[in-house]
Structure 1
Amino acid sequence: MNVLLMTDKLMTGGAEYYFCKLENQLKHSKLVFYTAAGGGELYEQINNKKHFINMSHSNHIANLIMIKRKVKEYDIDIIHANSLRMVLYAVAIQKMMKKKLKIIYTKHNVTMIEKSFRPVFTRLLNRYVTKIITVSGYEQENLFQLGVQKEKITTIYNGVDLGQFMYHQKEKDNVYKVGILARLSPEKNHELFLEIAKKLKQYPEIKFYIGGDGPQYPKIHKMIEEFELTHHVQMIGEVKNPESFIKDMDVLVLTSHREVFPMVVLEAMAVGTPLVSINIGGIKEAITSDEFGCLVSGYSADRFCEHILAIKEDQQFRNKLVNSARDRVQKNFSLEKMVTYTMREYLNI
């Protein structure tokens, strides 16, 4: 069988890293893999560039014409869509060609159609998608509640490349680093991160680092100045090597309004950086107890501060978190497991 993996673009993000890791790792004597995506900085991570189809970021008609031609040329049997837009592409190509394609959809996030047009979203998945992979049980349950057919859905957790995100023993430093690694967009709630920094301003040894780029860069930069945090908070910008950023932090913080199952949680657990995270979405499926990290049930800056200071001041507590979290990732969230379970879906479809 011939499989075409598709994603919108190869720009830094959890879904895009997932796409690249699959492309790198998928190998089977009965399957031939091709990939298609819009350009971006992650293109360099694609191994088999001979089987890669470069799509436009904006010209959807041209993309559909090109992908239709490639589906015919490569005799594609399965399209694995890494976004809802790619599902729509696959459905359109199927109708244009009048060829029955098997469509797999890995659902990484909450989509606009899902929020605003639920019946349309549910009908689309039930009618056209052969198999849906959710990256958390939380998201699987959400689809059940929307009326998506249960037999179509399976959960395959994101997997960490433990060779890339290797455990790192931190050395004591005069600076205690608290970081956030996320796209600078409203749903990531950097405002709360800055509130935390403001409340901990009295501790001169604690510095805050914002990794990532996005549309809210000017707003966040202005807030740092307004809160008089220019000596306490540093904006790093685009992070090309997330493992280096995460390893460098003493604590990693998540403050998002919306998450399904963020890769950065598993990556921090893998390298040995303790987590203080908002308790939303599927995060609690990785941090199942306070043995593995600190979850905050509400958007309380004070509660975040309490956990950050507890980790900072209690080395025994910190070590317990680090060791337990690393062990949990190795047993349950390896890249090898993710690839094996995904391959099984292709072969059993």
Structure 2
Amino acid sequence: MKILFITHDTTRTGAPMVLLHFLRWLKEHQSQVEIDVLALRGGNMEEEFQENCSNYYNYSVETKTVSLSIIQRILKKLHLYKQKNKKDVFIASLAKNGYDVIYANTVVAIPIGVSISKASRESKLFAHIHELQVVIRQLLPDFKKFLPEIDAIIVPSEIVKNNLVNSWGVNKENLLVVHAFTEVVKIKPVKQKAKSKQKFVVGASGMVHWRKGFDLFLLVARNIDLRYPDADILFQWVGKLPKNISHIIDEDIRKLNLQESVNFIGEVSNPKTYFNDFDIFLMTSREDPFPLVCIEVGLLGKPIISFEQATGTNEVILKGGGFVVPYLDIEAMANRVMEYYNSANLVEEHGAINIREFSNFIPEEICPKLYAMLIN
């Protein structure tokens, strides 16, 4: 079997991480499968992708326009030279590889996946859609026109499935729910410290972006600071912090007088060391299909608070490992934070539930199911 996996980039973010875990599992457990990877752009995990496939292609490099020589420019003006479209040539060359499956990982990868499958004819096209409504409309507004070319769609949660059915008219029969998963080093959860000796840490993580709700994180901190000025709480966000946004956040923190209680760490090589110090995890995302960070903190025994209608993780949280509050209800979220702050037993109880409920969201459990869908 020969599979071409298409990733929008190779950065250390959710969808590429899930794909990389799957490639590693395939390499170890299904060595007969020939794996090629096409990255539309590179990223900080490019070498890891290269190590786990037979052939690796960087679309932005392969299709880069080369300057014409002086002779070629003269001939072109005389209409005696026709420059080949490098994108068409590259797609045609990939189609000749005879892939059994073309696997477009995220909506951004769908258009080129369709182009290759059309040129190949013999290939089945799978689309793994990790996005919800707003992001799909931003990144692939004409998504509907590609649907007839897709053989099957994989989604990480029921909320993504329902959105595709209700908002985009996708046939339920073509949808397969396979939850997201991650490789996690299980660090023994730290017992709660006495409030007089150590701050209560409310954590958050992810690239600082509107979708992740970094502004809402600040508003929850402000709400608690105003209503409970004596609460000894540190709000800590771990994740990539673009420079243009960092200046805005710095100024917001200063104007809100939260310098002592809010800290945006930025991107770190091993975020789990920070996760382990969190007492609870605050997921302020507006849209998050099934974030890997929730699996990671859940396995570390951290309760999670999130918004209704915002994430597929709610399917797990509602089993008792946290609270789901009304969408964008800052005060309700702050109230739940204070419930945990005032009850170490509640933190421990909900954390134990998350350890149990998230224990199956690992490659060993999910990858066989994902592979089975590709070969059936």
Amino acid aligned to 1:139: V
Q: In 2 relative to 1, CA 49–113 (structure 1 residues): closer, same or farther, beyond 3 Å? A: closer
Q: In 2 relative to 1, CA 298–99 (structure 1 residues): closer, same or farther, beyond 3 Å? A: closer
How far apart, in 2, do the equivalents of 1:247 and 1:117 lie? 34
- Corresponding residue for 1:32? 34
Amino acid aligned to 2:122: K
How far apart, in 2, do the equivalents of 1:29 and 1:237 lie? 38
- Corresponding residue for 2:172? 150
- Corresponding residue for 1:101? 123
Amino acid aligned to 2:4: L
Which structure would you say has the larger Rg? Answer: 2
Q: Which of 49, 54, 58 is residue 54 of structure 1 equivalent to? A: 58
Number of corresponding residues: 342
- Corresponding residue for 1:286? 316
Q: In 2 relative to 1, CA 118–5 (structure 1 residues): closer, same or farther, beyond 3 Å? A: closer
Task: Say yes or no: does 1:169 pair with 2:190.
Answer: yes
Q: In 2 relative to 1, CA 66–152 (structure 1 residues): closer, same or farther, beyond 3 Å? A: same
* TM-superposed deviation, 1:223: 0.9
Q: Structure 2: where are the runs of 5+ without partners? A: 65-84
| Greater displacement, 76-85 / 26-35 | 26-35
Q: Contact conserved, 1:239 with 1:245, CA < 8 A, in 2?
A: no
How far apart, in 2, do the equivalents of 1:229 and 1:136 lie? 36
Task: Say yes or no: does 1:336 pair with 2:364.
Answer: yes
Amino acid aligned to 1:90: G
CA RMSD of aligned residues (A): 2.6
Which secondary structure does the structure 2 equivalent of 1:216 belong to?
helix
Q: Contact conserved, 1:84 with 1:111, CA < 8 A, in 2?
A: no
Q: Contact conserved, 1:82 with 1:106, CA < 8 A, in 2?
A: yes
* TM-superposed deviation, 1:154: 0.6
- Corresponding residue for 2:151? 130
How far apart, in 2, do the equivalents of 1:346 and 1:148 lie? 19
Q: In 2 relative to 1, CA 98–263 (structure 1 residues): closer, same or farther, beyond 3 Å? A: closer
| Greater displacement, 55-64 / 294-303 | 55-64
* TM-superposed deviation, 1:64: 6.0
Which secondary structure does the structure 2 equivalent of 1:342 belong to?
helix
Q: Which of 192, 216, 229 is residue 258 of structure 2 equivalent to? A: 229
Q: Which of 325, 345, 354 is residue 316 of structure 1 equivalent to? A: 345
Q: Which of 355, 364, 371 is residue 326 of structure 1 equivalent to? A: 355
Q: In 2 relative to 1, CA 186–57 (structure 1 residues): closer, same or farther, beyond 3 Å? A: farther
How far apart, in 2, do the equivalents of 1:133 and 1:63 lie? 27
Which secondary structure does the structure 1 equivalent of 2:273 belong to?
helix
Runs of 4+ in 1 over 6 A off after TM superposition: 116-119
Which secondary structure does the structure 2 equivalent of 1:273 belong to?
coil
Q: Which of 191, 198, 218 is residue 247 of structure 2 equivalent to? A: 218
Which secondary structure does the structure 1 equivalent of 2:289 belong to?
coil
* TM-superposed deviation, 1:7: 0.6
* TM-superposed deviation, 1:329: 1.2
TM-score, reference length from structure 2? 0.82
Question: Identity across aligned pairs (percent)?
Answer: 23
Q: In 2 relative to 1, CA 65–207 (structure 1 residues): closer, same or farther, beyond 3 Å? A: farther
- Matching of residues 80-91 of structure 1 within 5 Å: 80-91=103-114
* TM-superposed deviation, 1:156: 0.3
Q: What do the CA deviations read for 1:210-233 (whole angstroms, capped 9, x no partner)?
A: 222235332222211111112221
Amino acid aligned to 1:13: T
Q: What do the CA deviations read for 1:224-247 (whole angstroms, capped 9, x no partner)?
A: 111111222112111332322322
- Corresponding residue for 2:69? none
Which secondary structure does the structure 2 equivalent of 1:200 belong to?
helix
Q: Contact conserved, 1:176 with 1:250, CA < 8 A, in 2?
A: yes
- Matching of residues 295-306 of structure 1 within 5 Å: 295-306=324-335
* TM-superposed deviation, 1:48: 2.3
Amino acid aligned to 1:158: A
How far apart, in 2, do the equivalents of 1:245 and 1:185 lie? 20
